Structure formats: structure tokens, C-alpha cells
Amino acid sequence: MENENDVEGPELIQKDKKDKKKVLIAGVLAFLIILSTSVGLLFLLQSGGEDGKGVTYIGAVIPSEYIGTGTGGDGPDYFVGYRSDKTSQDMLTFEIDSTMDFEDIMGGEFEISEKNGEYELEEVVSSDTEAVSIDDMDEVIGSLFKNIEVSFTSLSLVYGNYTFGIGTTGTDDYVWIAPEESYPTFFNTVTVKGAVFDSLTLGVLAENYASSVFGDVNLNKISDLSQDFGFTFNGVNTKFVMVSELTYENPLSIAGDVIDTITPSDLERLADIFSTDGTEWLKEVVNEVGEGLAILTEEDNRIDSNKLWFLLYSLDDYSSFPGMCRLEVYVSDLSNLTNKVNSLVSSSFNLNLDFTFDVNVGVIGEVIPDTYTARSVTGLWQSVEGPHTTTLVESVEVEGYGMVVDMATLIQSLGEAFELPESTVDALKTITTFKNPAFVLLLDERLPEMLSGSGTPAWKYGSVAIIPDYETTASGFRYLNLKGVLYDPALYFNIDTSLSHIPLIVVDSYSEVTEGLQTVTVKDLKEGNVVLNQYGWAYVNVDAITIGTTLKTIADEFSTHPVAKAIEAFPLDLCVYDGFKVDRLSEIYQVPILYIAAGQGPTYYEFNITNIRGMYIDYEASFNSIDGFLEDRISLDMPVLDDLLVYVPELLDITAPIADFKDGVLSSGLVPPGYILAFSIEEISNTPPILTVLNPAENEVVAIDDFNVTVHSQDNPDVPLWIEIEILKDGFNIFALDIPIPAPVLKNGEWSTNEPVNSWWWEFVKAYTKTFDPWLLGSYTVELRVHDFRGYSAEVSRSFTLSSTGLDDQKPVSSVNAEPTFENTVIFIIYATANDNVGVDAVELWYSKDGGVWMFYANDTFALDGWSWSFDTSMTSGDGIYAFYSRAIDSSGNFEDPPSGNDTWTFADTNDPIATATGPGTISTLTFDVSYSLSDSPPSSRIATVGLWFTTNDGFTWTAYGNDPDSMSPMQVTVSSGGNYGWYFVAEDNAGNSESDPLPFWISLPEFTTLVDVDSGDDFGSATEVADGTVWVEDLGGSDINDYFKIWLDVGQTLWVNMTGDLLTDFDLYLYDPSQTEIDSSLNFGSTESVSCTATVQGYHYVKVYDWGGISGSYTLTFEVL
């Protein structure tokens, strides 16, 4: 009988058995039992393990995914254990082949055969799982490879790719390990299933499979760490449960907000600070931890009833907890905690306050996250003032302008203001390395609504937020997107006033808004090239040279004053800058910049190049948007800001390298009607300019017709610079230039515009002419110096000689390629070839129409695709005979002489000719003439072909007859039978213009119809021969009462003959075989008849139409052979 404590073991999925082998083994064993003596049987048992024979092993089967050989769980399984006739000291590991699929580690007894070093699992002898009590673990833990199920209180840690834990009764403790699983616990009641392993087993696995999870487990470290926390193992700490399944007890459903999490990365930052020599292992341990701690407040928290949870969770399962979550948690049983962590209990304390904290601990099982509802800041007020019963109102996403004060910046500011030692400040800031909370005053994007007197109280355009861990930046004022949980402070504190409902957001995630960002220049702001919103604002990204200082910098000048001390202690700093861009000589654009920095903002006085991102606010547009509400309160000229911008350079004793900066104040006057409220300012690195002479080369002898001096200067974006250029001939200055860059450029004696962002080209060219001044020849030196506004400079000189060598007076030659005789498109391509000893710069196309004067058509200057033109006759008086020639110009300015005649010609004809059938009407023969007319608009390339089409069904189908041999009306045709024939002529001219062929399905109708009325034979001897598909139309009546037809049929062919006739006629239809014997007839009233037959003999079959009614009329016969 099965033991009542036995429970179902790990699941085995039986695969296809190797039946033949099993039968063979069973037969051999039966034979040996019958024939062997007891001595022989004993010998057999003792000699088990020979190749191909099964041996009993005690151990555990380990599925392939635990070893991690890169097979993804599809490789072989493994075995660890020892032969039943050996001891556990003879522990082995090897791969096994099996017809069974193991999902979990299974201990027990197994019959395994070995052949040629390969092992095969023949049978699971025993693998039952025994349910045991934790109180009986002392006895069970000694049974190596026994499968057990046990419930206990557990404390565990997810570490690397496994979980290790301690199961405890409060006094007795047992180690358990779950490879490749994440099971965080903190004194949770759990039920585990697994097999008993020991340190020897683990050591063998770690040695033989070092790259697997077993190579990572350090049982001694687990035991030592556990004992450090008060766990005792009663002498059995070398044995443990290898867990394959863990089930949590005591589930509970709660709802609330995870206000923050503590993860290994948080602890790693602390480890970076506190790790010293000998404690580096702390950081290594933290790096391997695979669980986090979530701090949750329940949705119905009140000041008199605070419900907090500290919840462990697996990092493999969750990385965030968006919004108001509903969670399934497994509550920890802390009854054993006091027995295990006495030091913690002795150091605990209670707060004697008027409010209580209900603190609970557990493990997260399942999380149902919430979705964020988009709200404006004013919309947050509507939510908290609306109906709700819990402190936590809803999950929200909101955007606005945030004034941010973080803890790290606050500590730094206070330390500098009160001159605290740097070591003290660093010590205070240590906690912010772990978590750096920030407080945010969030303002609505629609502040102008408040200024315009919208009726909404001013405070409802603001809210507060808490960011649990803020990444410090240089900005204390930012355009933020916040996602988090909205709290109602009034409900929490149990008070109900207007301001007590101020919305509070505990933030899950935050980011700076980038949507709608416009990349512009300071010049764009001045010229209005920026898109303003309805309030006169624009979100912009600008690069500019920045000069200015901050409120704290000014306060430093008065450091003893109490107000200055207060300013220095404040965690934010007000910065006032002037951003400008030198665009052209005497054109300097500037814009005022206000910036709220975290801590102390930077001072710029060396023409620093910065990138500014923020909100550009247009004075006039902004004040117009608030309907004059503040016009009498704030001056559009902003005297305070202007005065400060004047004072700052004087205070810092700024001097400028050019005259445009007078007394330290920029005075160009090109200022946009607004200012930038900056969210971030980042300095762009600056380097000295680069100056390069591209040609001529040093000491190069240059032919005068190739005289070309080219200089390239490059510097950082938006850095103003200027250049000095001198050209000396034989030591005498013949040219000098001193200009800012970017600036006008002199080329070929003419000024042109060149405004690249960060590079400048200068080119001096003297084009060769036949009357050049010999004085130009000789030795030259070019000297160049370039300077930027930060004092960097570069200079270079280059010597060269101008020579008369290589003067070019050879004219180029060109020719238009041969054209086809005819062109039938309005636009066609004309090609030409051109050659020159130096190089062709351009080729001209000239044309003459119908022998008229020569006209210039176009100039081609792009030689890479060949010399060609798209000739458009609609621009040159249409169709006609065109003659062409080309004329080339080389790079020395030599022109080709016009030719005496044309290079080629073509006839342009784009008109389609028209041919129309005109007769005859009725004909009594099968061969006759069809007449037609022709027309073709001049100028005509003349008719080339005339084609004829016909139809016998009024245009349902059309058949090509052929071309008229002489293309002159009439055209002789021969038809196969009588009937109505519709005609359609198609003409084509020599240029290839043609009418379209007729279209079927009555789309194209006959131009003219001819009735072919031919009298058929009156008896068998004179029968008219027809064929498959023939449609015959003929009149019958009067003296002509019989018409005979014959058609050839092979044996097996089937003939169908159908007839229709005019109204009131009564024609009958008869069918005869080759012996002229009637085989079918159709004698209906009227003339709709049908006969058919299948030929039994080969030969002519006959059809007769008979006028039974005596009324003359027309009939139509159709013949179909299948």
C-alpha cells in the first residue's frame, strides 16, 4: 500500500519506448533467472555495468537547461549520483540519453546502462516525493537525493542566476537553493518541492560543469553569511534542498502607489562610496543581487492611519510600477524575526506622535499597473476637488514649467553660504548619492490665461510634485513631463480649505519636453522667423555667443551683507545673459536671456559659445494675448533687464576685440522684441581657427590663364572671426583686405554673398584675356591671417610665380549627332559631341525651321551626362523640318566658329492621319472593293500604310484583315460567306503617327457596313461549303424556297447549327449525313431553329433551310463544330 505521506513526484513525460530493446532485455533476464544457479545470479548482480547492461544508481537527473551548455534546453539531460553498490563518496556526473522528458531536478533510484562511454536511462526505479513536516527535517535531510515537499518560514536572496534561502522553524534552520529561479522571501510561509543534495554533490557539479549555475553557488559562503545573522543548522549545514518549485502562502490583494524602489544599482552607488581596501567584495555582491525593494503606500492612507508596505520583488519580473497599482502580495510572517535578529529588535524605537504607521512586509506576486490620464495643471485641481474617497486620486501625466530644488543642490548651496568644510558638505551629500529627492513647483503652460483675468484663481495654475530620485542638472527651471500618482493633501490631513487641496504628484518618471522645439538663430528671432503660440511664446533651440553673469556672482561682491548671504544660501540662481550672433559686417544680432540655474550659475565673459534651449517670449505678442491687463504695470522696454545687461559687462570689466563693443556693451541695436527664458545652457567647445591655402602650391609656377588663389578658413559654429589678406608682387603690396567673416566675397572682380555657418571660402581669380598686361607676370606672395573673437589666430603665406606658359588659343570643335528622318513627339532629345585641347565649358544649340533663319535654342554647361538638349517644338512653332548645328566654348574663352551648313536635320510630325470606310452598301459576290477616304493635317510626312479591320457582330469583336497594298482607295477584299460586314480603316504615316486599332465590346463601332447577299445552292449538288464559326446571312422566299450548305466533319466531331429569322417568317432547318439521309430537323413556329449531330462517318454533312411559311425574309445561320 502507498505510504500516506507519499505525494506525486516531479512530472515525467513518457516518450516513445524502445520496445524491441526492452523485450530483448526482459527475455535475456528471464533466461538467466531460469538457467542460473544462485551463485551465478549473485555473480551476475556483482558484475553489473558491463557494456549494454543496466546498473542501479542513486542520484538525481538534471534537465539540460540547468547545465547551460548553449542548447537552450534542447540538449541532453545530466545525472549526478553513485552506483548502488558504491558509496556517495564515489559521486559521478555524466550525460544521459533517455526517452523521458524531465522538467525539474528529480532525485531517486535509476537503472542506467553504459556502452562505449555513453549512458542511457533505462528505468526510473523510484522517485516518489514525500511530504514532510519541518519538524522532521533533521531526519529527512540526511537522505541524499530524496524528493521532499515541505512548508516552512523562509528568508532568501535572489543572487545571480539562482536563489538561496533559509527555511526556519525559529530554532532549526535549513538551507535551500533554487537554480535558475527568482524566489525572494522575507520570513514568508512557503511550500517547496525539491531533492536533498549535499556539499559533495554540489562540488562535483561545480567542478565538472563550472560554467553552469552550479559553478556559481558557494555553499560555504551561504552558510557563513546565514550564521552571521543568527541562523544555526544543527550540524547539517552541508546538506540542503535543491528546490525545483516554490509556492507562496498567505496571498493578499492591495492597491496603492509604489512611491520609490531600492534596487541593486542604488546600493551600488553607496558601495562606490563606502568600499575601501578589503571591502571591494561588497560591490561585487551588490552587482549580483537580483531583487529589489518597493515602498508602497495604500490608496486610503490618512494622517491617523498610515499604511506602508515594504515589498520584495524579482528584477526579472518587474522594472517599474506605473501609477496606482493593484498588487497581489504574500504577507511575511515576522513571528520568527525576533528570534533571529535580536540586535535589530533591541535597537528599534517607537515614535510617540499623534499619528500611527502600520508597516507591513511582503513579496510581490502579481502587479496590475494603471494607465496615466493626461491632465493640465489646472485639471489636477479639478481632479482633487472632484468626488473621491481616497488620498490617492488617480494616475496622471502632466506637462508644465517646473521650478526644481533637489537635495544635493540644496546641501551644496547651504554649505557654500555658511562656509562649511568641504568634507562636511561631502558627507551630507552622501545620502543624495543613494537617493536625491527633488521638490518641484509646477506651473501651468497657460499662465497668460491667468494674467488675462480668466476667472480661475491664480494658485490653481500651480501644483507641487516630489521626484524620489532626481538627476541633478545645471537647470533649476525646466519644461517637464511628469508621470505619477496624484494625492489629495486635504484628505490626508483631514482639512478642507481651498489651498489644502493643492495637487501633489509623487512622480514615477520625468523627462524634459522636446515636442515643438524649433531650432532657430538669433537672427531668426529678430526677423520673426519663429512660430509663436497663441500666447506669444515659442519653444526654441538657439546657438549663440553668451556674455553675462548671475545674481549669486553679484552677491559675492557684497558677501558680508545679510541679503547676499541669503542669496548665496538659496538653492537657485538667477542668471542674466546676452546671446548674440555676428552675421555680417556691422550686423550683430543679440537677445536677452534669463536662466534659473541649480546651485550657482556660470558667468560668461570670454565670448563663450553656448547652446540655449528654452521659451522665447515675444513682448508685444505676449502682452497682446493678455488684452492689456498688465500694460500699465510692465514696460515693454523692460528697463530693469536692459540696465542689468549694461551693468554686467561693466562689473566684469569685459573688453571686446572689435569696435562694435564700446565700453564693454554690445551696441548693434539688432535685438528681437523679446527674451529667452532658458531651460538649459550648455557651452560648446571652441578651438583655434584653421586656415588653409588650397592653391596655388608653394613655389608653383602658374600659367596666367590658370591664375586662381583659393583660401579656406574654418572655426567653431557661430564664432565671429575676421581675416587679413595681402598679395605682394616683387615685394610690393598690390592687394589688401581686412574684413569680418562671414562677409562678402570678391570673385572675378565682383562681390558675392557667402554665409556658411562655420567655414569660409575666399577666391581671387584673374581671367585671361588676349590683351593681358605683361606686368602681371612675375613672382607673388600671398599672406593671410585669421582671428576669432576669443583671441585665437592662425596665419599662413604662400609664394608662387605667374607665367605666360600654356596660353590657349585653340578653338573647340563640336557637332550635333545625326537625327532620325522623322520625330513624332513634341519633345525629343538632341545629342552632340565636343572636344578641345584644354576643356569644353559649354555647348550651344542652334536651329532653323523650314529653311528659315538660324535661332539660338539653349546652352548646356553640364558635361557629366554628355552634351544634350530637350528640344520642345511647342516653343519653336510646332511641326516642320528642323535643321541643327552646335557651337562650343572652351575654358579659355575660345568660341567655335559657326558651320557653313547644318550638322543634321529631322522632320517633326506629331499629327495622326485619318482613314474612313465609305462603301459599298450591298453586294452579291464574295470578292468586292471597299472604298475609304484619307486625311492628314499638314505638314504631313505622308501615308505609309492603310490597314483594314472587319466585324460580323456590329463591333463585339474585331478581326484584322490586312493592309491595302497601294494605300489608295478602294481596297479589294474577299469574304468567306454572306452576311453583314462592318469595316474600320487605320492609317499610319511615315513618322509613325497612327490611329488606334478598333476596340471590342462595342467600344469601337463600324465606320461602314456592307451586306454580302450571296444565293446558296438549291440542292445537294450545288450546296455552299462553310466551316466552323461561319455566320451566314441570306434572304429566302418567293421562287427561292431552299438553300443548301455542306460542312466537313471527322468521326466523333459534333456539329451545332443555329438559325434565327425575320419576324413573320417560318423557315425550317434540316440536317443530313454524307449519304444525304436526314438525321435531324427543327420545325418550330417562326424561324428560330437548331439542329445538331455527332459524326459517325467522315465526310460532308448537309444543312437545308426551307421556306415553309411562304413569307420572304432574311435568316442568319451559325455553324459550330466541337
pLDDT in the model for residue 46: 39
Identify the pLDDT of residue 651.
Answer: 45
pLDDT digits (tens, 9 = 90+) for 701-729: 877 666 666 777 666 554 555 667 777 87
| Domain residue spans of the chain | 7-126, 129-248, 251-370, 371-513, 516-683, 690-795, 813-908, 914-1012, 1024-1121
- Can you list the alpha helix ranges (DSSP code H) found in 341-446? 342-346, 377-385, 407-417, 422-434
Q: Which of 321-330, 975-984, 1027-1036 has the highest mean pLDDT?
A: 321-330
| Sign of the torsion formed by the C-alpha atoms of 489, 490, 495 and 499 | positive
**Residue 1038 pLDDT class (50, 70, 90 cuts):** confident
pLDDT at 275: 58
- Check: CB of residue 727 under 8 Å from CB of residue 780: yes
CA–CA distance, 11 with 77 (Å, rounded to integer): 15
Band the pLDDT of 430: cuts 50, 70, 90: low
How much is the pLDDT for 759? 46
- Res 747 pLDDT > 80: no
How much of the chain exceeds pLDDT 70, in percent? 76
Q: State residue 847's pLDDT score.
A: 95
pLDDT mean over 735-741: 59
Residues 715/690, Cβ–Cβ less than 8 Å: yes
pLDDT at 293 over 70: yes
Can you give the pLDDT at residue 949?
94
Query: Any alpha helices (H) in 6-156, and if so which ranges?
Result: 19-35, 38-46, 64-67, 137-140
Which SS3 state, helix, strand or coil, does residue 7 take? strand
C-alpha distances out from residue 750 to 739, 759, 770, 858, Å:
16, 20, 21, 26
Beta strand 12-14 with 92-97: parallel, antiparallel or unpaired? unpaired
Q: Which residue has the higher pLDDT, 197 or 563?
A: 197
pLDDT reported for residue 715: 65
> What is the average pLDDT across 120-133?
93
CA nearest to 127, candidates 244, 255, 276, 291: 244
Task: Say if residue 588's pLDDT is above 80.
Answer: no
Q: How confident is the model at residue 194 (pLDDT cuts 50, 70, 90)?
A: very high
CA 715 to chain centre: 34
How far apart (Å, rounded) are the C-alpha atoms in residues 597 and 437? 17
State residue 635's pLDDT score: 40
SS3 content of the chain, % helix, strand, coil (to 5): 15, 45, 35
Q: d(Cα 233, Cα 700) in Å, to the nearest integer?
A: 93
pLDDT at site 768: 36
pTM over 0.85: no
pLDDT confidence tier of residue 287, bands split at 50, 70 and 90: confident
Closest CA to 119 of 48, 181, 165, 55: 55
**Residue-level pLDDT at 1061:** 92
pLDDT band at 2 (very low <50, low <70, confident <90, very high): very low
Cα separation of 1094 and 1071, whole Å?
Answer: 11
Distances (CA, A) of 327 to 18, 95, 253, 288, 330: 49, 43, 6, 26, 10
What cell was used for 495? 482639512
Mean pLDDT of 320-336: 88
Q: How many residues does the chain have?
A: 1122
Q: Check residue 427 and give its pLDDT.
A: 67
For residues 824-837, average pLDDT:
92
Which of 151-160, 662-671, 883-892, 929-938 is least confident? 662-671
Range from 27-31, 503-507, 678-682, 727-731 that averages highest in pLDDT: 503-507
Q: What is the pLDDT of residues 136-151, one digit of tens each?
A: 888 888 899 999 999 9
Is residue 415 scored above 60 in pLDDT?
Answer: yes
875 or 410, which is more confident: 875
What pLDDT does residue 740 have? 54
CA–CA–CA angle 1089, 1093, 1096 (5° rounding): 160
The CATH superfamily holding the domain 914-1012 is: Immunoglobulins (2.60.40.10)
- Answer with the residue of higher pLDDT: 1032 or 790: 1032
For position 16, what pLDDT does the model report?
Answer: 38
Report which residue type is found at 262: I
690-795 CATH pick, 3.30.420, 3.40.50, 2.60.40, 2.30.110: 2.60.40
Whether the bond between 774 and the residue before it is cis, its omega within 30 degrees of 0, is no
What is the predicted pLDDT for the residue at 356?
61
At residue 737, the pLDDT reads 62
Query: Which position has the higher pLDDT, 1022 or 732?
Result: 1022
Q: Which of 2, 96, 9, 8 is nearest to 57 (CA)?
A: 96
The answer, yes or no, to whether residue 1001 has pLDDT greater than 80, is yes
pLDDT of residue 819: 92
Residue 518 has pLDDT above 80, yes or no: yes
**Amino acid 649: pLDDT:** 46
**pLDDT, mean of residues 603-621:** 81
Q: Map residue 413 onto helix, strand or coil.
A: helix
Residue-level pLDDT at 47: 39
Strand, helix or coil for residue 84: coil
> What is the structure's pLDDT at 621?
67
C-alpha–C-alpha distance, residues 1007 and 1010, integer Å: 10
Locate all alpha helices (DSSP H) within 600-692, ordered by sequence.
619-625, 639-652
Q: Which helix (H) or strand (E) holds 391?
A: none
How many CA atoms, within 13 angstroms, populate the side-chain half-sphere of residue 1011? 10
Strand partners, 732: 729
Is the pLDDT higher at 808 or at 92?
92
Q: Encode burial over 349-370: b for 16+ CB neighbours within 10 A, e otherwise.
A: eeeeeeeeeeebbbbbbebebb
Query: Over 80: is that where the pLDDT of 212 sits?
Result: yes
pLDDT for 101? 86
Residue 976 above 90 pLDDT?
no
> Quick one: pLDDT at residue 800?
80
- Alpha carbons 622 and 615: distance in angstroms, whole number: 12
The helix (H) or strand (E) run that includes residue 570 is: none
- The residue that leads in pLDDT, 580 or 898, is 898
**Cβ distance 694 to 620 under 8 Å?**
no
> Mean pLDDT, the chain, as a whole number?
79
**CA 965, 971, 975, 980 torsion-angle sign:** positive
| Whether 765 contacts 745, CB under 8 Å | no
pLDDT band at 752 (very low <50, low <70, confident <90, very high): very low
DSSP per residue, 469-480:
S----SBSEEEE
Return the closest-CA partner of residue 208 out of 107, 118, 78, 61.
78
Q: What is the CA radius of gyration of the chain?
A: 52
Tell me yes or no: is domain 371-513 CATH 2.60.200. Answer: no
Can you give the pLDDT at residue 657?
A: 34
Q: Where are the alpha helices (DSSP H) in 820-899?
A: none
Distance in angstroms (rounded) separating the CA atoms of residues 266 and 279: 18
Residues 974-995 as b/e (b if ≥16 CB within 10 A, e otherwise) read: ebebbbbbbbbbbbbbbbebbb
Confidence of residue 59 (pLDDT cuts 50, 70, 90): very high
Q: What is the DSSP string of 792-825?
A: -EEEEEEEEEEE-TT---PPPEEEEPPPPSEE-S
Q: Is the pLDDT confidence value at 1048 over 90?
A: yes
pLDDT at 880 over 60: yes
| Angle subtended by helix axes 199-208 and 219-228, to nearest 10 | 130
| Rounded Cα–Cα distance for residues 757 and 759 (Å) | 6
Q: Band of the pLDDT at 617, cuts 50, 70, 90?
A: confident
At the second CATH level, the architecture of 813-908 is Sandwich (2.60)
How many Å from the N-terminal Cα to the C-terminal Cα in the chain? Answer: 86
Topology classification of domain 1024-1121: Jelly Rolls (2.60.120)
Q: With pLDDT > 90 as the criterion, what percentage of the chain qualifies?
A: 33
Q: What grid cell was written down for 393?
A: 486620486
- Averaged pLDDT, 1101-1106: 95
Helix (H) or strand (E) segment spanning residue 335: none
Report whether 1023 contacts 1016 (CB < 8 A).
yes
Give the three-state DSSP class for 627. Answer: coil
Q: Identify the burial level of 403 via C-beta atoms within 10 angstroms of its C-beta, where 0-12 means exposed, 13-18 middle and 19 or more buried.
A: middle
Which segment of 446-460, 604-618, 679-693, 883-897 scores lowest on mean pLDDT?
446-460
Quote the pLDDT of residue 721.
58
User: Element (H or E) spanning 671, and its range?
Assistant: none
Class of the domain covering 129-248:
mainly beta
What confidence tier does 778 reach under pLDDT thresholds 50, 70, 90? confident
Q: How confident is the model at residue 541 (pLDDT cuts 50, 70, 90)?
A: very high
- Asked if 129-248 and 914-1012 have one fold, the answer is no
Does residue 257 or residue 416 have the better pLDDT? 257
